[in-house]
Amino acid sequence: MTDGKNTMGNRDVPVAALTGVGEKRAEAFAKAGIFTMSDLLHYYPRAYQNRGDVRPLECIREITKTGEPVTCSAVLTVGTEPQVRRIRNNMTLVKFSAFDETGSCEITYFHMEYVKRTFHVGAVFRFFGRFTYDYGRVQVTNPIYEAFVENKVLPSLVPVYPLVAGLSQKMLYQYTGEAMMKLGGSLTEYLPAWVLREASLPSHGWMVNVLHRPQSTEQLEAARRRLVFEELFLQFVCMAQNGGGAKIANRYPLTWNDISRFESLLPYTLTDAQKRCLGQIAGDMDGDYAMNRILIGDVGSGKTVVAAISAYLAIRSGYRAALMVPTEILAAQHYRELSALFEKLGIGTVLLTGSTPKKKREAILASLRDDSLSMDENAASLIIGTHALLTGDVQIDRLGLVIIDEQHRFGVMQRSAILEKGEDCHCLFMSATPIPRTLSLVAYGSLAVSSIDALPKGRQPIDTFIVNSSYHARMLNFIKKQAEEGHQTYIVCPAVEEKIKEKESTDPEELANLSLFDLTPDGMPSAGLQTRMDFALTPDAPPLKAAVTYAETLAEELPELKVGLVHGKMKPAEKDAVMAAYCRGEIHVLVATTVIEVGVNVPSATLMIVENAERFGLSQLHQLRGRVGRGDAKSFFILVSDSHEEGAMARLKTLKDTMSGYEIAQADLEMRGAGDFITGTGVRQSGQSMFRLAASCRDTDFMEHTAKLAKELIGEDPELAGWPALREKVDRIRYEGSRMEN
Which residues contact Mg ion (rule: CB under 5 A)? 599
Report d(CA 61, CA 64) in Å as an integer: 5
C-beta of 194 vs 268, nearer to ligand ADP: 268
C-beta of 192 vs 626, nearer to ligand ADP: 626
Q: How far is the CB of 598 from Mg ion (least distance, A)?
A: 7
The contact set with ligand ADP (CB under 6 A) reads 268, 270-271, 274, 297, 299-305, 432, 456, 599, 601, 603, 626, 630
Task: Point out which residues pair with 335 in neighbouring strands.
Answer: none
> What's the burial of 95, exposed, middle or buried (CB within 10 Å: 0-12/13-18/19+)?
middle
Strand 589-592 versus strand 488-492 pairing type = parallel
Contacts of 401 (CB under 8 A, 6+ apart): 252, 285, 291, 310, 311, 314, 319, 320, 321, 322, 422, 425, 426, 427, 428
Q: How far is the CB of 335 from ligand ADP (least distance, A)?
A: 14
Q: Which residue is nearest to ligand ADP (CB)?
A: 302
C-beta of 443 vs 600, nearer to Mg ion: 600
Q: How far is the CB of 600 from Mg ion (least distance, A)?
A: 9
Considering only CA atoms, which of 244, 670, 599 is closest in space to residue 443? 244
C-beta of 71 vs 271, nearer to ligand ADP: 271
The helix (run of H) or strand (run of E) holding residue 308 is: helix 303-316
Angle among Cα 547, 553, 555 to the nearest 5 degrees reads 100
Q: Which does 202 bind (CB under 5 to 8 A by kind): ligand ADP, Mg ion, none?
A: none
b/e code 483-509 from CB counts within 10 Å (16+ = b): beeebbbbbbbbbbeeeeeeeeeeebb
Considering only CA atoms, which of 254, 311, 317, 605 is closest in space to residue 430? 311
Considering only CA atoms, which of 401, 320, 318, 317 is closest in space to residue 364? 320
Q: Which does 416 bind (CB under 5 to 8 A by kind): ligand ADP, Mg ion, none?
A: none
Considering only CA atoms, which of 350, 419, 411, 413 is closest in space to residue 385? 350
Q: Which does 299 bind (CB under 5 to 8 A by kind): ligand ADP, Mg ion, none?
A: ligand ADP
Q: How far is the CB of 269 from ligand ADP (least distance, A)?
A: 6
Q: How far is the CB of 266 from ligand ADP (least distance, A)?
A: 8
Q: Output DSSP code: residue 435.
A: P
Alpha helices in 588-679 (DSSP H): 618-625, 648-657, 661-672, 675-678
Local structure of 323: helix, strand or coil = strand
SS3 content of the chain, % helix, strand, coil (to 5): 40, 20, 40
Contacts of 562 (CB under 8 A, 6+ apart): 586, 587, 588, 589
C-beta of 432 vs 726, nearer to ligand ADP: 432
Q: How far is the CB of 597 from ligand ADP (least distance, A)?
A: 11
Q: How far is the CB of 348 from Mg ion (least distance, A)?
A: 22
Q: Which does 305 bind (CB under 5 to 8 A by kind): Mg ion, ligand ADP, none?
A: ligand ADP
C-beta of 216 vs 660, nearer to ligand ADP: 660
- CA distances to 314, 322, 351 from 428, rounded to whole Å, are 12, 10, 19
C-beta of 576 vs 597, nearer to ligand ADP: 597
C-beta of 564 vs 599, nearer to Mg ion: 599
Q: How far is the CB of 676 from ligand ADP (least distance, A)?
A: 17
Report d(CA 432, CA 463) in Å as an integer: 21
Q: Which does 361 bind (CB under 5 to 8 A by kind): Mg ion, ligand ADP, none?
A: none
Q: How far is the CB of 256 from Mg ion (least distance, A)?
A: 25
Alpha helices in 424-561 (DSSP H): 437-443, 472-484, 508-514, 547-557
C-beta of 76 vs 430, nearer to ligand ADP: 430
C-beta of 3 vs 343, nearer to ligand ADP: 343
Q: Which does 445 bind (CB under 5 to 8 A by kind): ligand ADP, Mg ion, none?
A: none
Phi, psi (rounded to 5 degrees) for 67 = 100, 0
Report d(CA 277, CA 260) in Å as an integer: 16
Q: How far is the CB of 653 from ligand ADP (least distance, A)?
A: 24
C-beta of 37 vs 382, nearer to Mg ion: 382
The helix (run of H) or strand (run of E) holding residue 275 is: helix 272-285
Q: How far is the CB of 244 from ligand ADP (least distance, A)?
A: 25
